Amino acid sequence: MDKRLNSLDWTFIRAFVAVAEGGSLSSAARSLQTSQPTVGRQIQMLQDNLGVTLFARRPKGMELTDDGARLLPFAQQMMEAAGKLSMAATGAEANKSGTVRLAASVYVAHYVLPSILADLRRLEPNIQIELVPSDATENLLYRDADIALRMYRPDQLDIVARHLSEIELGAFATKSYLDHFGRPQHPNDLLQHDLVGYDRNDLIIRTMRDFGWDVAPENFATRCDSQSTYWELVRAGCGIGFGQAQVARRDSTLEQVLPNLSLQPLPLWIAAPKAVRHSPKVAAVWDHLIAAFTA
């Protein structure tokens, strides 16, 4: 066996795949829950061990070299194989106890899941939950998570997915803001108000343009791409924003604006690798989430 393989650290492979898929050291550090300098050192050590340059630095991040592109599929296969090994071990567990890793969007993790997981803990005290709030796409086959809640239907092979519900969306503002600036009576009135929008994400702009409104980023007085921070800006009174109606209606300081405004709902899917889906602990969390979101 090549001596270089004996000196390879598994964390180097994980870092290589994370940087390649995320496009930058910072993105990889977030997905691996470590620091950017640590990822940088791991990449450098892997390059030294292999005797190749895997990435070229670019103004907007890290770009694979020809050698990096050639070696990436093998590193991804190693990640997938390790994930399958872990999943096979989990699937063989007979007891309904242990840790289940659950990935969900930052917004859902912040505003929706805490009460659901509190109920789960009372029902299943032997199951521990690792909640991963992330708007990135965790790779279930790499075992980044045992269960993921998605706003789209996963299409990976060896993944079990089920449609949970359609999440109603609406326009909301604080009652104090509306008392001061007035309540829109017609959709076009929205353009006369302070709007809370996204920064680089153009979802709200595209949706409003579908309604016939010619809007640009400058039409939004406050902008932020972080879902949870975005919602806190609405709750603080920065203007009218858009969010999940069920969450907003639990907040007595908020009022729905133009309740007849027809917004496309968000689909919610639950997904898990086939290899772990029916292990007792994963099955218990899966069933609890289905019951909670379809109630």
Per residue in 182-233, pLDDT tens?
Answer: 999 998 899 899 999 888 888 788 877 877 777 888 889 999 988 899 999 9
- What letter would DSSP give residue 240? B
**What is the rounded distance in angstroms from the CA atom of residue 278 to the CA atom of residue 95?**
12
**What is the rounded distance in angstroms from the CA atom of residue 295 to the CA atom of residue 286?**
14
Entry pTM? 0.65
Residue 136: φ, ψ to 5°? -80, 170
Percent of the chain scored above 90 by pLDDT?
Answer: 42
The arrangement of strands across the sheet holding 169-174 comes to 241-244, 169-174, 254-257
Class of residue 203 by CB neighbours under 10 A (exposed 0-12, middle 13-18, buried 19+): exposed
What pLDDT is attached to residue 91? 53
| 54: its two tokens | 């895997």
Per residue in 102-148, pLDDT tens?
Answer: 999 899 999 999 999 999 999 999 999 999 888 776 555 556 789 99
